[in-house]
Amino acid sequence: MPVDRKNFQLRYVGDRFKGHRLPLDVLPDLAAFRDLVVSYVKAEWRGAHTKRERLPKGFEKSIAFNLTGIADGSAIPTLEWDRETAQFLLPDFKDELETLVETAYDRVLTLVDRADNPDGTALLSSENIRALNRFGSGLLDRERIEFVGSQGSDGNVVYLDFQRRKRLITRGRDSYQTRFESIGKLLGSELETSDAADGSIKVETMEYGMLTLPVPSDRVRDEFDGNIDAEVQFALMIELNNNDTFRSVVEVFDVDVIDGAVVSDLERCRTRISKLGELTEGWNNGDGVPIRPDAATAAFRLLAARPRLAGRYHIYPTDEGGLLMEFVYEGWDYGIEIGPNGAPAIYGVQLDGPGEFDTRSFGAVSVEFLACLDERTGETI
């Protein structure tokens, strides 16, 4: 457990966080962590003051946290409970609030530590779930948030990752929220009236079919009208059920029509993959099997996930029914070999030096694979 219970450190572990870097898209985690703690502070207060019908005025605002620094190593934001705010808003309760914040943090640690034990914790409140739906929503595979100074039931530091977060949320309900980035085709746009404050666009995606994205009316008129069938890239918060089936779009972080040059590169790659899909048995001087559908689907998913790399790819068939996507980036020659079952592997060699990037294999074109690719290229959606 932390030595100073008024200072809380969250260590972000993963390739994106090396050199104490904290990507902007995970900053909402800090506010969500505060909200999760507050949800337990409220529960503790109500349990200790059963005769009070309401929380004191200014109660929630009195529980403030300040970001006081990013520690070295993997990114470690340090949050400090602001006693002065509590002193100003609720001077009669500041000491009790300090104790409640410490107790609430213990509750958070216990909750996360028991994530893998279905019987380890009671069902979460709606306020707990709302905070958890935002806390850690941008974590990729092999990334986690460690609670610095904590010790779990197994003797190791308590941590939250994608799977633990999903298990916690779906224990209390049948859906959860997560970040989703990809590209799709613009099918249409809609404005209820000419002066409507909000509009929407309809986008066809490979992963979840047609999605309706709320977009401000001025952007619908200025950027999307007249661009039917154009490629768009987007970053969303979506709701999935516990079987990972799409439920709804929760929030749109970003959506834009893709640059025409990128669209041309994407079409070239798609056409090439489709053409290779016509190869027949024995296409390589008697050897070589046809490209398997799973390999083609995985290649299309890769193009959708990282469209800006499309202009660099040279695409070839493999004798086993897979695809090889070669590209050069900043002095390195890389190969992405997609097996007949759609499982990719990436490797590389330095063009003018002795460097080698040993082969790393993945089960699918997953967030884990894309994180590895991003580490090598610096390219994201």
| pLDDT over threshold 70, residue 89 | no
User: What token pair was written down for 263?
Assistant: 């669209």
Are the CB atoms for 315 and 325 separated by under 8 Å? yes
Give the pLDDT mean for 337-347.
96
Selected residue with higher pLDDT from 66 and 211: 211
| pLDDT over threshold 50, residue 210 | yes
Q: Could you read off the pLDDT of 328-339 as tens digits, one per residue?
A: 999 999 999 999
| pLDDT over threshold 70, residue 223 | yes
Q: What is the pLDDT of residue 7?
A: 78
Q: Which residues pair with 100 in a beta bridge?
A: none
- Rounded Cα distance, 355 and 191, in Å: 54
Selected residue with higher pLDDT from 7 and 151: 151
List the single range of 13-22, 101-110, 357-366 with lowest mean pLDDT.
Answer: 13-22
Provide the CB-side half-sphere exposure for 325 (13 A, CA): 26
Which CATH number does 178-257 carry? 2.40.50.140
Q: What is the pLDDT of residue 193?
A: 59
Question: 346-366 burial, b for 16+ CB within 10 Å, e for fewer?
Answer: bebeeeeeeeebeeeebeebb
Chain center to CA of 178: 6
When pLDDT is cut at 50, 70 and 90, the band that residue 356 belongs to is very high
List the single range of 105-114, 139-148, 277-286 with lowest mean pLDDT.
Answer: 139-148
Domain 260-377 is of which CATH architecture?
Roll (3.10)
Question: Which residue has 């690719």 as its token pair?
Answer: 373
When pLDDT is cut at 50, 70 and 90, the band that residue 3 belongs to is very low
> What are the residue ranges spanned by the domains of the chain?
7-173, 178-257, 260-377
**pTM, rounded to two decimals:** 0.65
Selected residue with higher pLDDT from 358 and 59: 358
Q: Could you read off the pLDDT of 22-46 as tens digits, one per residue?
A: 777 788 888 899 899 989 888 888 8
User: What token pair was written down for 304?
Assistant: 């959708």
Could you tell me which of 56, 40, 49 has the C-alpha nearest to residue 127?
40
- Rounded Cα distance, 108 and 114, in Å: 10
SS (H, E, C) the chain: CCCCCCEEEEEEECHHHCCCCCCHHHCHHHHHHHHHHHHHHHHHHHHHCCCCCCCCCCCHHHCCEEEEEEECCCCEEEEEECHHHHHHHCCCCHHHHHHHHHHHHHHHHHHHHCCCCCCCCCCCCHHHHHHHCCCCCCCCCCCEEEECCCCCCCCCCCEEEHHHHHHHHHHHCCEEEEEEEEEEEEEEEEECCCCCCEEEEEEEECCCEEEEEEEEHHHHHHHHCCCCCCEEEEEEEEEEECCCCEEEEEEEEEEEECCHHHHHHHHHHHHHHHHHCCCCCCCECCECCCCCHHHHHHHHHHHHHCHHHHHHCEEEECCCCCEEEEEEECCEEEEEEECCCCCEEEEEEECCCCCEEEEEECCCCCHHHHHHHHHHHCCCC
User: What token pair was written down for 146?
Assistant: 């460690």
Could you tell me which of 89, 80, 76 has the C-alpha nearest to residue 34?
80
| pLDDT over threshold 60, residue 288 | yes
Q: Do domains 178-257 and 260-377 have the same CATH topology?
A: no
